[in-house]
A and B are shown apart, each in its own frame.
Chain A
């Protein structure tokens, strides 16, 4: 069975600071991994995805994530936070075409 654990339901950073959102997964097959962002009263927008190509994945809005098989992790980072990055972030895993299994989400707050 597949599962996702996001460490920290709330993360707060100052504008311009490093953003690090943690995600660990469990999968018995080579996984596809995703990060989605959700702004208030909106659907989920894809930030980036890993599908067994390069382990360092670059996404939209300056975000990137690194797939580390040995650590079963797929942490999301951004070098410098912007006020517009404040949102809910979800890590998800799938078995290559099937349903997405989501983590509980991490709410990112950005302080001026």
Chain B
């Protein structure tokens, strides 16, 4: 069974630029999560989708971050414009029944 796929693996941008990350969950998993992991910290949830609807986006900085999950499968997370403090690893996870979350390899973003 293929795992959660993410791309790109690494991205370096300058502040005020925009960036997008892509996630393809495990086939059949209805729930998809985006987490932000700042160096030295545990991951923090940004947004949770159930199929293509948003369940929880309370921690998403909506003035600069946006996310969508078209057709309830793939998802894209966008940052526009990026700030220095957005430097982090962005992790995507998916879940079949909502109990166990399976994580992708992450995208490491560096904002200069």
Contacts and interface: CB of A to CB of B under 8 A. Distances in A.
Given A104-B42, A105-B42, A44 B48 contact: no
B103 A45 contact: yes
Contact of A102 (B42, B56, B108): B42
Chain B CB within 10 Å, residue with most, of A97, A99, A104: A99
Contacts of B6: 43
B99 A92 contact: no
Question: Which range holds the interface residue count of chain B?
Answer: 20 to 34
A89 to B, nearest CB: 10
Contacts of B108: 41
Question: Which range holds the interface residue count of chain A?
Answer: 20 to 34
Given A32-B99, A104-B42, A105-B41, A43 B105 contact: yes
Given A32-B99, A98-B48, A43 B42 contact: no
Interface in A37-94: 41-46, 49, 51, 90, 92, 94
Nearest to B42: A102
Contact of B104 (A32, A43, A51): A43
B21 interface: no
Contacts, number: 59
A100 interface: yes
A96 interface: yes
Interface in B26-58: 31, 33, 35, 40-45, 48, 55-56
29 contacts: A4-B42, A32-B99, A36-B103, A41-B108, A42-B105, A43-B6, A43-B91, A43-B104, A43-B106, A44-B91, A44-B93, A44-B103, A45-B103, A51-B99, A90-B42, A92-B42, A96-B99, A97-B31, A97-B98, A97-B99, A99-B45, A99-B48, A100-B35, A102-B42, A102-B44, A104-B40, A104-B41, A105-B40, A105-B41
Interface of B: 4, 6, 31, 33, 35, 40-45, 48, 55-56, 91, 93, 97-106, 108
Interface of A: 4, 32, 34, 36, 41-46, 49, 51, 90, 92, 94, 96-100, 102-105
